[in-house]
Amino acid sequence: MTQRASMRILVTGASGQVGSAIARRLQDYATVIATDRAALDLSKPDSIPEILSRLAPDLIINAAAYTAVDRAESEPALAQLINAESPGVIARWCAECDISLLHFSTDYVFDGSGTRAWSEDDPPHPLSVYGSSKLAGEEQIQRAGGPFLIFRTCWIYAARGTNFMCKIATLAQTHPELRVVADQIGVPTPARFVAEAVSRIIAEGLQELRKRVRQASGVVHLAMSGETSRHQFATEIINGLRSRGVTLAVDRIVPIQTEDYPLSAPRLLNSRLNLQRLQVVFGIKPPDWRRALDLELDQLAEELFACRLPKIRL
């Protein structure tokens, strides 16, 4: 058995989009310990060290998070527990055991101002409870003193789950008109790509991982290349589904401004992420976001067709 094949990797949040994609991807060459909230509840940080010691991983990938951006405004304590306190507990356990931690953060640590892509070294300035809690998690991990790598991502989606792509596809089936913000700019990033990138980063073994982590100063932005607006992304989704034979009710996609669609938590107008460190340190050059969208649309169209098949009673 090779070192990679015998590596025990704990993936938290394995029922979520990123966690489930990573767990599936790593099964080819590692023993994956996939945990959901029932197995490892990040709202109960005191229970975490005993569970980690019992599971005895060689590497931890923390993909669990409180991601309800608007609800976090009314549940700040819970968001802080899951996004900051518990990652800190995990990081301190990793430091004591000399185990590497890979952790997922977000573009929401920035304030979304300007038009320049955010670099890893730009000063963070979150505008929401969610963003503040994720930044606090980053800071706790950095203070723990163990080996870590923080991935900041943006606009994560997949053909299944709760995300922008699935919401647009659902609404487009019954609504003749969709109103979508056109002044929020970022890059749609499928969970599938995130999983592939993480797999590449750890594929050469733990020693090489630690070397690259030091070169990256512990933080790297992980997203597709290019940029688009929410409105254009929605348009691409709808056009792509139609080209695959999916019948939709929508015939108008109206561009609006963020101020026309008020939400509890502020949204970022600029979610562009600078990917130079990802390319230089890890040798990963992400493809344009439209190429990745095609794969997700293929799967989503299949899901939609499957849902419309008549049920056969035997």
Tell me whether residue 203 is exposed, middle or buried, using C-beta atoms within 10 angstroms of its C-beta: 0 to 12, 13 to 18, 19 or more. middle
Give residue for tokens 């290019």: 226
Q: At residue 191, what are phi and psi to the nearest 5 degrees? A: -60, -30
CA distance 262 to 301: 31
Cα-based distances in Å from 108 to 104, 117, 166: 12, 13, 21
Most distant CA atoms of the chain, gap in Å: 62
Which residues 6+ apart lie within 8 Å of 167 measured at CB?
none
CA distance 240 to 298: 9
Verify whether residue 130 is a known catalytic residue: yes
How many Cα atoms sit within 13 Å of 253 on the Cβ side? Answer: 20
CB 35 within 8 A of CB 86: no
The active-site residue out of 108, 130, 157, 261 is: 130
- DSSP bridge partners of 10: 33, 60
Per-residue tokens: 240: 């792509």
Give residue 56's region: left, alpha or beta (phi > 0; psi -120 to 50): left
The set of catalytic residues is 130
